[in-house]
Structure 1
Amino acid sequence: MKTLLKSVAAAGLMLAVASPALAQAQAAAGPLVPGLAVADLDGVVANSNAYRTAQTQRPTTYKPQLDQAEARRKAIVAQVTPLVDKFNKDRALPSPNQAALQTQAQQIQQIQQSGEQELRTILQPVGLSEAYVQEQIADKLDAAVKAAMAKKKISLLLSPQAVTAFNNNGYNLSQDIVNELNTLIPSATLVPPAGWEPREVREQRAQQQAAQGQQGAAPAQPAKPTTTTQPSGR
């Protein structure tokens, strides 16, 4: 999302204020700088209809995985809790056996790590769904930003992190971008196609394949010529 602002450009002044009350509020807060606005793009995505609808649908669509993960989490907690209690009890002894404590700690850690890996595997389809929806919205975000800027005649759009403070809501273009995004992508597909991978994974794989291709295409170094010393004769 950080790179989206680099490609966005438009010229002009801010649109005139339609409401006299809003005009008075803006005048009280100070004049607007023409062509300048602020937008939280992460918030824009989270407030889009496509994202919020997907968030509502996901618990139902992926209920088997979520229920399985919750059941397994409770089982892991039930398995680890008595081990942790025993570890704390043994550690509180006047002369605790440090070797035994270390063995107990390692056992607890192994169970926790194994459990976390198991939960990640169970919830992988849910995570892929989240990434798939976000990628669909992100693909339309640049166009939504440009459209909102063009309508409000904004030439410079800043992120909230780049601004120390501003006391005029007239600078906030977030809702305008949300409106454009809702038009461009009213809803997103919740379940990714089989074998789908997030863009970051696809890009990393493409880079690795390109690097391997370059190594395979590297010309072989020519062999150095061998010199034979002829015996000297008289």
Structure 2
Amino acid sequence: MTKIKTMLLAAALVAPAAIAAGSASAQVSGIAVANPEQAVANSRAWTAARGQIQTQYKTQIDQATARRTAIENELRPLVTAYQTAARAPGASEASLRPQAQAIQTKQQAAQQELGRLTQPAQRAEAYAIEQISAKLNDAVQAAVRARNVTLLLRPEAALFAQPAADVTPAITAELDKLVPSVGITPPANWQPGQQGQQSPAAAAPAQQRQQPQGR
């Protein structure tokens, strides 16, 4: 879920200040909670897109996983040597600096290398998420209207909430209606955030994919 929050393009969890009461199908009255990232993560469109991305970019993903493991193996003795030197009598910041800088340089180079390998898959993810996020606000509004909710909170903002007060599944159900599927191949000139600039209802994300896991 951490990556989902990182990829959240915009917050659109805003319910109307007042909504007409009297819905016969209302399951929650007044105050409810919802996790928008989870709602998107559980949507059928994202689940399908994630699977397509893992298949289409399997070679790059596998390369990144293997390279990540190799880098960790390369760094481990350097870190061990640094820790040993740091415990030695007379160790100082100045004496340890060359080792620390060598580790940092290798880490930065590794991050850049892994970023190049995973960039195509991450770009496809961002494109899929942005398409779902564009409808998140509409899904929220539909869910709260159906349940006569006048105040919608994130779960962490509520001290306590009954399970029945969680309308996250209802939002996911609305997303499934609004966005049954999405594409994973962005146009050549596409940049993340463009759809959010075209529509005020941008928000999203999700990325609960298996390693190389991770709006």
Above 0.5 in TM-score?
Answer: yes
Per the TM alignment, residue 125 of structure 1 is displaced from its structure 2 partner at its CA by 1.7
Q: Which has the higher contact order (CA 8 A, sep 6+)?
A: 2
Per the TM alignment, residue 95 of structure 1 is displaced from its structure 2 partner at its CA by 5.7
Structure 2 counterpart of 1:230: none
Are residues 1:147 and 2:142 paired?
yes
- State the distance in 1 between where 2:19 and 2:47 align: 30
Change (3 A) 1:185 1:87: same
Are residues 1:185 and 2:174 paired?
no
1:15 maps to a residue whose letter is A
Q: Deviations over 1:153-189 (max 9, x none)?
A: 33333332332212361x3322222111101111121
Give the paired residue count: 188
**Is the 1:47–1:178 Cα contact (8 Å) retained in structure 2?**
yes
- State the distance in 2 between where 1:92 and 1:159 align: 46
Task: Identify the match of residue 48 of structure 2 among 46, 53, 62.
Answer: 53
Structure 1 counterpart of 2:111: 116
1:198 maps to a residue whose letter is P
Name the stretch that deviates more: 179-188 or 140-149.
140-149
Determine helix, strand or coil for the equivalent of 1:191.
Answer: coil
Are residues 1:174 and 2:168 paired?
yes
Q: TM-score, normalization: structure 1? A: 0.66
Name the stretch that deviates more: 185-194 or 160-169.
160-169
Determine helix, strand or coil for the equivalent of 1:5.
Answer: coil
CA RMSD of aligned residues (A): 3.1
Q: TM-score, normalization: structure 2? A: 0.71
**Is the 2:25–2:146 Cα contact (8 Å) retained in structure 1?**
no
Are residues 1:131 and 2:126 paired?
yes
Per the TM alignment, residue 104 of structure 1 is displaced from its structure 2 partner at its CA by 2.3
**Is the 2:15–2:144 Cα contact (8 Å) retained in structure 1?**
no
1:79 maps to a residue whose letter is E
Change (3 A) 1:107 1:181: same
Structure 2 counterpart of 1:165: 160
Name the stretch that deviates more: 77-86 or 58-67.
77-86
Ranges in structure 2 where 5+ consecutive residues have no aligned partner: 1-9, 198-215
Task: Identify the match of residue 73 of structure 1 among 65, 68, 73.
Answer: 68
Mapping 1:77-116, distance limit 5 Å? 77-91=72-86, 93=88, 101-116=96-111
- State the distance in 1 between where 2:14 and 2:196 align: 23
Per the TM alignment, residue 49 of structure 1 is displaced from its structure 2 partner at its CA by 0.8
Change (3 A) 1:87 1:35: closer
Are residues 1:197 and 2:206 paired?
no
**Is the 2:32–2:151 Cα contact (8 Å) retained in structure 1?**
yes
Q: Percent identity?
A: 39
Structure 1 counterpart of 2:33: 38
- State the distance in 2 between where 1:99 and 1:50 align: 54
Determine helix, strand or coil for the equivalent of 2:170.
Answer: helix
Ranges in structure 1 where 5+ consecutive residues have no aligned partner: 18-25, 27-31, 204-234
**Is the 2:131–2:195 Cα contact (8 Å) retained in structure 1?**
no
Name the stretch that deviates more: 120-129 or 193-202.
193-202
**Is the 1:15–1:153 Cα contact (8 Å) retained in structure 2?**
no
